[in-house]
């Protein structure tokens, strides 16, 4: 398989700014997350990132205590992560 690809779940009823692909998705090394607009009654839902660059919480309306409380349009995964074996 091509191991230099990024998996992103684009939805056919959403609108996308090309900068999302050029500046965000293209640069995903393992897992990338970003804000999503107009989700579930919120203007914006987004990860809260700490000074260490890690996600500390989620700024979302729907079920904010979920471990991965993001919209499907809010993340991408580098394909290598799907084939990596955890020991």
**Cβ-count burial of 47 within 10 angstroms (0-12 exposed, 13-18 middle, 19+ buried)?**
buried
How far apart are the C-alpha atoms of 40 and 34, rounded to whole Å? Answer: 16
Report the alpha-carbon distance of residue 82 to residue 17 in Å, rounded: 26
- 13 carries a ligand binding annotation: yes
Residue ranges at the known binding site for Mn(2+): 13
Residue ranges at the known binding site: 13
């Amino acid at each position: 398989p091509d191991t230099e690809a990024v998996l992103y779940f684009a939805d056919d009823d959403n609108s996308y700014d090309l900068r999302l692909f050029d500046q965000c998705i293209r640069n995903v090394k393992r897992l990338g997350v970003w804000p999503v607009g107009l989700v579930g009654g919120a203007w914006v839902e987004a990860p809260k990132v700490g000074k260490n660059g890690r996600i500390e919480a989620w700024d979302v309306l729907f079920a904010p205590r979920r471990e991965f409380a993001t919209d499907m349009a809010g993340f991408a995964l580098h394909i290598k992560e799907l084939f990596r074996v955890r020991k």
